[in-house]
Amino acid sequence: MSEKQNLPIPTSVTVTAQFNIAFTQHGISVQKIQDEINSLEFTEDNLPRISELIKSIKGADKVIEAKHKEGKAPYLEGGKVWDEAKKSLLTINEGLLSQLTPKYNQLCAAIEQRQKEAENEKNRINAIKAGIESNLISFSSRIAQCQTNAELLAIERVINLEKSESRKTKYMEFHDEAIEKYDSVLLPILKDQKEKIKQKEELEKQILEAENSNNAAKIDELNEKKEQIDNEILQNQVNVQQEALNLPDTFDVVVAEEVFPEIKTVNRISFELVDAATALKKCPELITVEIKHREAQKVAMTLKEAGTFNGKDEVVVNGIRFFIDKSYK
């Protein structure tokens, strides 16, 4: 009689005992895990502990799988008993996980949503800041380019429009700060340019009068003064352009940032049948009564590698919806 034939037929009690011994050897206590779950508060502060409990349960699953494989190998008659014991224990672990995973995922998803909202708020503020700084550079340059009073009045009307109540929806809570920036930066440039243009126009008037009286000496003197004013206006343009290149952040906004608990995200491409007729026509190799998981997974990975999911959470291909299925660990 072979050694295999002399092996005792296992029972549910003896096999379960073998699993329990394996648990002890690996420092695993299902009851301890259950006790911890019973006293656990599902808060963000406890995310690390919840994650560790999930890992412990999954570690117990691995011990069960390994012990099941080891214990079943020499047996034929006892195989069914091992299978039943394995199923029973995995069902218990599934029940433990069901007490943790949904609430854990809910907490992580809420954190992720707040992170997105915080990022959107940061982008909104940065866009307003960038718009104000861009306007300061643009308006400064346009003022420096003005050669007549009419041109200055036109740009001044545009600046005043930006400062008006009608632009409050554009600048939102930073409207007053924008007005202060426009006044402090642009008004001195406007005032200086107005004065130079006024001087220039007065000189042009005097030159015309000197020409009418054929006073050559006066014409030369006035042209020299006008040329000086033209040079000062030109220098203003150069100065404004140079200052624009060296312009630092002129609109500092302090925003309180929430410190979020660390979460680990696992993205997987999932799929579901949304158009059975199209799917059966276009890709019958993927369809039985249900979606063939393994084959659909290959298609999903091909779509991912081709960049189909870039910027998207889901796509429908040949009647099958492939989507990002997110979980947390």
Domain ranges of the chain: 12-113, 265-328
Rounded alpha-carbon distances, angstroms, from residue 172 to 54, 126, 182: 45, 13, 16
The torsion angle over the Cα atoms of residues 162, 166, 171 and 173, rounded to 10 degrees, is: 130
Q: What pLDDT shows up at residue 300?
A: 92
Q: What pLDDT shows up at residue 256?
A: 55
Rounded alpha-carbon distances, angstroms, from residue 18 to 35, 59, 150, 154, 176: 23, 16, 96, 90, 74
The reported pTM is 0.58
Q: What pLDDT shows up at residue 189?
A: 84
Q: From the CB of residue 148, how many other CB atoms can be counted at a distance below 10 Å?
A: 11
H or E element that contains 270: strand 265-273
The phi, psi pair for 229, rounded to 5°, reads -65, -45
Residues of the chain with pLDDT under 50: 1-3, 250
Q: From the CB of residue 316, how many other CB atoms can be counted at a distance below 10 Å?
A: 15
Residue 312, classified by CB atoms within 10 Å of its CB into exposed (0-12), middle (13-18) or buried (19+), is: exposed
Q: What pLDDT shows up at residue 197?
A: 84
Comparing CA positions, the residue from 27, 94, 13 lying closest to residue 63 is 27
Give Dmax over CA atoms of the chain in angstroms: 140
Amino acid at 158: V
Q: What pLDDT shows up at residue 102?
A: 93
- Check if the beta carbon of residue 270 is closer than 8 Å to that of residue 323: yes
